[in-house]
Amino acid sequence: MVPTVIISTYPDKKSISKIANKVVSSRLAACVNITKISSVYSWKGKIENAEEFLAIFKTTQKNKSKLKKIIQETHPYQVPEIAEIDVTGINKPYMEWLVRSTS
């Protein structure tokens, strides 16, 4: 089994908490880390400064497509960030937990 991390940003804690609970309870992600961040980005010709919530979804290669589809379908942003990071190294006990939690 190969671990994968999907990251996305959300406008508020309520929207990310809802999707995080959904994907963990459906076993598409073993864990979702959520942290408040400050973002600076260009949107429609303007520089924006916003507080957002960064979500780090921990899953497996087997579940990544379904997980990304749910993120896309439920995301409140018009153009959501859905970035996939392949994990090349992970400690064995954590990987075993990840697989058990998503199977």
3-state secondary structure 37-63: EEEEEEECCEEEEEEEEEEEEEEEHHH
Q: What is the pLDDT of residue 89?
A: 86
Please give the mean pLDDT across all residues of the chain: 95
Q: What is the chain's alpha carbon radius of gyration, rounded to the nearest angstrom?
A: 14
Mean pLDDT of 68-95: 93
Written as six digits, the tokens of 87 are: 């994990």
- pTM of the predicted protein model: 0.92
* Domains of the chain: residue spans and CATH: 3-101 (3.30.70.120)
What do you get for the CA distance between the two ends of the chain, in Å?
11
Query: Is residue 83's pLDDT more than 80?
Result: yes
Hey, what amino acid is at 50?
A: A
